[in-house]
Structure 1
């Protein structure tokens, strides 16, 4: 990828309702993206077509999956995050559908116009920079100074995150290149632990890590208060993937952050160039374009979780950097 940060162009192949058109199904990724996909994900035209066909047939034959979206972009999320291992992609899809079902209050009705979610985005608690970093990755901005504990709940927080992540993963570039997280933790206090029970917090992190088809390439944190380091340590201890753990960086100063993340990608309030307010307005346009798509996910259902391989029976080796322990799923016979 070029080292130049590029502002994102608007997508041109959605209808008035935000639904994907046939044109997108025929659109090929750029040569630069294809090179990265081949090197990091073992992807090429033949592998992509064969794996998509196999995954669609498996979904069709699986009685535990209802109304699953089967277009290229949705299925490629699971294939890419597991480097086109059919067995691992199947397991991640099952876990994703189960995660949505278990945390229905968070994962259903992913509507950015919901009053509390919209306020968290508009205030600047969580949004996405319009500029990609030097590796072509989208940069997700978190500012905990904007989270009012007296007004918002843990559900509000988690839903705002889910809307952000699902919107990003509808873009094939983000599926391939992954994302860069940048968080100002300066306002985090011990009171934040009241947002979730210990068990719920651990499940959200652990299950989310294993279930969500997203490549977390960098986690850049700054202004971490000493008194709440135990929260950070607890959260990190619930991440199983050592590769993912190693992608966390705590910066002691804003200068250290700017040495790692291009200034242009950051809001002015983080030492960047463009005010957060302007970045947020651009991000809200992207959210609006994907709103109906995200709401359509609610039709999907996992009837039973019997097909999910539990950790105790799964192999321990996983080089994908997402932390899933996929196991060996019993294969359905294909005609």
Structure 2
């Protein structure tokens, strides 16, 4: 194991080898070969090219060096093309701070049974008079920047759950093709994160319609990782065990504390948006995340997925018509 793999558990190191083709003997060579490609794109300002930084892109593209460089270039090109989004790109920026305080995004303390970090969004919390969609996207991207510093998450990846309960047609009408394209480009095409699943729950018909519109802009790999569960929690629980979910999603954990992630980023001095003016401290965030991230994983890795019998987690008061996800994970 090289110093670039320091801090990884033995299980995660083996997972990186098997799933991502990560080889400690050629790690530095792989990184340098990606770095050598930078001269082919003089139109892009590559503001960071250190080993640790390039490694997260290699992991996101399973050590395919050409695809890695393409993602690295798109990461910086996206920032060049959307400069206004990344001005004052810090947690105490008023727009980002408001979005964080409203739970955009929420980040669960414990990962799922496969070590993937769980992000949650309660769509109905979007108040257009308070949060612009751009600020919500900025808050999500900033959160991912902080989280992706963890090499375990570079390998294990993320899960996103969006709860569309009480999300009105009026709110949905504000999701224009322009802003949706901005979000897709920022998350799908320009960020080195491995998304193992994007789960819609309690989505109304007009969110189905919206998904149909944006579907052609999604990569095939992304489409296969989107699950539309409706109001049936059984299919959600077959993919993310209830032991890893708060009660809002039928899980066994307490209700999600909407301010938890905002307090993590803003620090112990977090009060309200008129008083707090400090930026987040990356070291503080790392300490706040702590070792508890592994608790759920350690408890549940011993449990095979076959332990979830079809129908055993079904809620009696839920509609049975949408028991299966519309899209299957490959």
Q: What is the TM-score of this pair, normalised by structure 1?
A: 0.71
When residues 280 and 152 of structure 1 are mapped into structure 2, their CA distance, relative to the original with a 3 A threshold, is closer
SS at 2:110 equivalent = strand
When residues 155 and 239 of structure 1 are mapped into structure 2, their CA distance, relative to the original with a 3 A threshold, is same
- Once residues 281 and 80 of structure 2 are traced to their aligned partners in structure 1, the CA distance between those partners, rounded to angstroms, is 19
When residues 61 and 231 of structure 1 are mapped into structure 2, their CA distance, relative to the original with a 3 A threshold, is closer
Decide which of 44, 65, 90 is 1:111's aligned counterpart: 90
Partner residue of 2:245?
Answer: 266
Decide which of 56, 74, 77 is 1:95's aligned counterpart: 74
- 1:80, CA displacement in angstroms? 1.2
- 1:232, CA displacement in angstroms? 1.8
When residues 110 and 33 of structure 1 are mapped into structure 2, their CA distance, relative to the original with a 3 A threshold, is same
Decide which of 228, 234, 240 is 1:250's aligned counterpart: 228
- 1:261, CA displacement in angstroms? 1.9
Decide which of 264, 272, 277 is 1:285's aligned counterpart: 264
Q: Which moved more, 1:125-134 or 1:56-65?
A: 56-65
When residues 104 and 194 of structure 1 are mapped into structure 2, their CA distance, relative to the original with a 3 A threshold, is farther
Unmatched tracts of structure 1, length 5 or more: 1-22, 295-335
- 1:195, CA displacement in angstroms? 3.8
Partner residue of 2:307?
Answer: none
Decide whether the 8 Å contact of 1:189 with 1:228 is kept in 2: no
Decide whether the 8 Å contact of 1:47 with 1:84 is kept in 2: no
- Once residues 83 and 197 of structure 1 are traced to their aligned partners in structure 2, the CA distance between those partners, rounded to angstroms, is 33
Decide which of 219, 227, 232 is 2:198's aligned counterpart: 219
- Once residues 93 and 47 of structure 1 are traced to their aligned partners in structure 2, the CA distance between those partners, rounded to angstroms, is 20
Specify which structure has the bigger relative contact order, considering alpha-carbon pairs within 8 angstroms and separated by 6 or more residues: 1
RMSD: 2.9
- 1:243, CA displacement in angstroms? 2.3
Q: Which moved more, 1:111-120 or 1:196-205?
A: 196-205
Given the alignment of the two structures, is residue 163 of structure 1 paired with residue 157 of structure 2, yes or no?
no
Decide whether the 8 Å contact of 1:130 with 1:265 is kept in 2: no
- Once residues 228 and 49 of structure 2 are traced to their aligned partners in structure 1, the CA distance between those partners, rounded to angstroms, is 39
Decide which of 255, 280, 283 is 1:275's aligned counterpart: 255
Given the alignment of the two structures, is residue 238 of structure 1 paired with residue 217 of structure 2, yes or no?
yes
- 1:287, CA displacement in angstroms? 6.5
Q: Describe how 1:26-41 pairs up with structure 2 within 5 A.
A: 27-41=6-20
Given the alignment of the two structures, is residue 130 of structure 1 paired with residue 109 of structure 2, yes or no?
yes
- 1:36, CA displacement in angstroms? 0.9
- 1:217, CA displacement in angstroms? 0.6
Ranges of 4+ aligned residues in structure 1 off by more than 6 Å: none
